[in-house]
Amino acid sequence: MARKPKNKARNTRMPPPRPKAKTKPAEKRPAKAPRSDTKQDAKGGYWIYGIHAALAAVANPARDCCRIVLAETAKREMETRVAQAITEAHKALPGRPSVERMSRTDMESLLPPSAVHQGLAVLAQPLGETAIEDIVRDCIEKSDAAVVILDQATDPRNVGAVMRSAAAFGAAAVVIQDRNAPAITSALCKAASGAVERVPFVRVVNLARAIGMLKDGGFWVAGLDPVAGRNLAEVDLSGRVALVLGAEGRGLRRLTRDTCDELVKIPLARGADSLNLSNAAAVALYELARRRP
């Protein structure tokens, strides 16, 4: 079924013009310092713990790892997986710290309270941030691309779970408004299960302006709203698509709603209120992915 965009003049779905030659990649900004749900060292590094999150950090050549800590009780298989991750990073980045073996008690003294570390933790420096201009530029030549936009999401575990779904379904980025947004912390990295290393986490000052830039780059923007007229499954999800999700309870803000090309909904059983933010993102990304070759 054909889409019914609000702004037809801006969304003809014709291939957008190439960026002018003088356009330069946006300069990457240093990431914000982690907040209170993480432990930092004097240089601003923070601990990433849990098997998937820590291994992904070690293997990521863009991630500066200061320490790699493995529990004394860890099995040989885990030691092999850490060595493989180090080898993967060495292909692009020479040098990784030697693996430190220590007791679980000593490990837990380094990490936030109640951290589920699974015997592996990495002290790492924050990744540099990516600008929205970089995402538009990276997708300009792609016939299909997906971007997830979060409006007023504040819980780090929820945002981490969204990033995990974004990585699973091949999204190009997760975009969030900088104000009140969670920093990349230990808790977020654990919930993302390694996705922080694979999916760009883009902070923007003005969400409506960022949506406008995506539109100019050929993206069709669908906002999820439980009272929308059409179901997500009824709209055309081909090409470059940005999915906008609001915070639980509050939903999308008025300006964000007005900036979307169309509002759509995920059909729920009668009497059901709404889906958790990360669950809604997973359902929407799956619906988008299943339509594509």
Which residues on neighbouring strands pair with residue 173, listed in sequence order? Answer: 147
Kindly list the domain boundaries of the chain, sorted by start residue: 46-124, 132-290
Distance CA 104, CA 107 (A): 5
Contact 72, 101 (CB under 8 A): yes
Q: What angle do CA 69, 75, 81 make, to 5 degrees?
A: 65
Contact 136, 95 (CB under 8 A): no
Please tell me the predicted confidence (pLDDT) of residue 24.
42
Distance CA 74, CA 151 (A): 40
Q: Which tokens sit at 192?
A: 């993302």
Q: CATH number for 46-124: choose from 3.30.1330, 3.90.79, 3.30.70, 3.20.20.
A: 3.30.1330
Please tell me the predicted confidence (pLDDT) of residue 273.
73
- Best CA proximity match to 259, nearest among 214, 217, 200: 214
Provide the phi-psi class of 233: left if phi over 0, else alpha when psi is between -120 and 50, else beta.
alpha
For the residues of 102-113, what is the DSSP string, one character each? E-HHHHHHHSPT
Strands 173-177 and 120-124, how do they pair? unpaired
Q: What angle do CA 217, 220, 222 make, to 5 degrees?
A: 140
Please tell me the predicted confidence (pLDDT) of residue 197.
96
Please tell me the predicted confidence (pLDDT) of residue 110.
92
Please tell me the predicted confidence (pLDDT) of residue 229.
87
Q: What angle do CA 86, 91, 97 make, to 5 degrees?
A: 35
Q: Which tokens sit at 62?
A: 């863009």
Which residues on neighbouring strands pair with residue 147, listed in sequence order? Answer: 173, 242
The ranges of the chain with pLDDT < 70 are 1-43, 92-94, 249
Please tell me the predicted confidence (pLDDT) of residue 163.
97
From residue 95, alpha-carbon distances to 87, 236, 269 in Å are 10, 47, 53
Please tell me the predicted confidence (pLDDT) of residue 281.
95
**141 φ, ψ to 5°?**
-95, 0
Which residues on neighbouring strands pair with residue 148, listed in sequence order? Answer: 174, 243
Superfamily of domain 132-290: SPOUT methyltransferase, trefoil knot domain (3.40.1280.10)
Burial of 281 (0-12, 13-18, 19+ CB in 10 A): buried
Please tell me the predicted confidence (pLDDT) of residue 165.
97
* Helix and strand element counts for the chain (H, E): 9, 11
